[in-house]
Structure 1
Amino acid sequence: MDQRILDIADHLLLIKHELHAQGWWDEAPPSAQALASTVPFAVDTMSFDQWLQWIFLPRMKQILEMGLALPSASGILVMAETVYVDRPEQSRELRRLLAEFDQLISA
C-alpha cells in the first residue's frame, strides 16, 4: 500500500483522538437533515467539530478503504483557524494536525 495513504490514515486517527481529547466528540449523530447539508463544512447545520466527526472523517475513511481518488487539495486549516480563533491554545494541536493533513493531501 502507498505510504501516503498510510500516512493519511494515521493522520485521520490522530484527528479523531484530538477531538476526543478536547471533549469535542459527540456520542449522538446529528439529524439526517443536518448530515445532508450541501453547504461547505455544513456550517448551516452543525459545528465544525461535528463536521469533522460526522462528515470529514467518515468520507476520508471511505475514500481510503475503497481506493478512490484523493482530493487534490484541502483547505481545512483555513476553516479551522476561523472557527477556533477564540480558542487558540485549546485548538493548537488539532490545527497542527489539520495543517499536516492539508500538506499530505496536496503532496
Structure 2
Amino acid sequence: MTQHQQLAGLLASIEREMRLLELWQPVPPPPEALASTEPFCIDTLTFCEWVQWVMIPRFGLMIERQAALPASSDIATLAEEAFKQIDADTEALLVLIEEIDRTLRALH
C-alpha cells in the first residue's frame, strides 16, 4: 500500500469517527473563516472544523493528484489539547490523527 493510499484510508476513518462522535458539521463555515492565515485557522475555526474543512480536503487533493505529501506532521499534539474541551470519547480519533503523523514522518 502506498503512503497516499494509507493516508486516504486514515482520512476516511477520521471522517467516520467524527460522524460517530457527532463532531462532523453539516454546514461549512463562512469563507472568511477558511481564509485565516493563522496555523490550523486557530483564530476562526475549532480544531474539528479545521480537520473537516481544511485538513481533509487539502490531503484529499494531494492524494488525488499524487502530489508530494508534507515531510513532517505534529497534528496530534494540537488534537490532544483540543479534545480536552470535547465532551466525548475522542481516544480513537486521537489514535487516527497520531497515525497520520506517523505516516507522514515515515515518508522521509
Q: The TM-score by the shorter chain falls in which range?
A: over 0.9
1:62-83 Cα offsets, whole Å, 9 max, x none, are 0110111100011100000111
Change (3 A) 1:89 1:22: closer
Do residues 35 (structure 1) and 38 (structure 2) align?
Answer: no
Aligned to 1:52: 51
Aligned to 1:68: 67
* Partner Cα separation in structure 2 for residue 104 and residue 36 of structure 1: 27
Listed as ranges, the gaps of 5+ residues in structure 1 are none
RMSD over aligned Cα, in angstroms?
1.4
Alignment of 1:1-107 (within 5 A): 3-87=2-86, 90-107=89-106
1:22-81 Cα offsets, whole Å, 9 max, x none, are 000111100000010111111100110100000000000001101111000111000001
Percent of aligned pairs sharing the same letter: 33
- In the TM superposition, residue 85 of structure 1 has moved relative to its aligned partner by 2.3
Q: Mean Cα displacement is larger for which, 10-19 or 87-96?
A: 87-96
Give the 3-state SS of the residue equivalent to 1:6 in structure 2.
Answer: helix
* Partner Cα separation in structure 2 for residue 32 and residue 101 of structure 1: 26
Taking structure 2 as the reference length, the TM-score comes to 0.92
Q: 4+ residue runs of structure 1 moved beyond 3 angstroms?
A: 86-89
Taking structure 1 as the reference length, the TM-score comes to 0.93
Give the 3-state SS of the residue equivalent to 1:69 in structure 2.
Answer: coil
* Partner Cα separation in structure 1 for residue 88 and residue 101 of structure 2: 20
Code of the aligned partner of 1:57? I
Matched residues, number:
106
1:8-29 Cα offsets, whole Å, 9 max, x none, are 1101100111110100011110
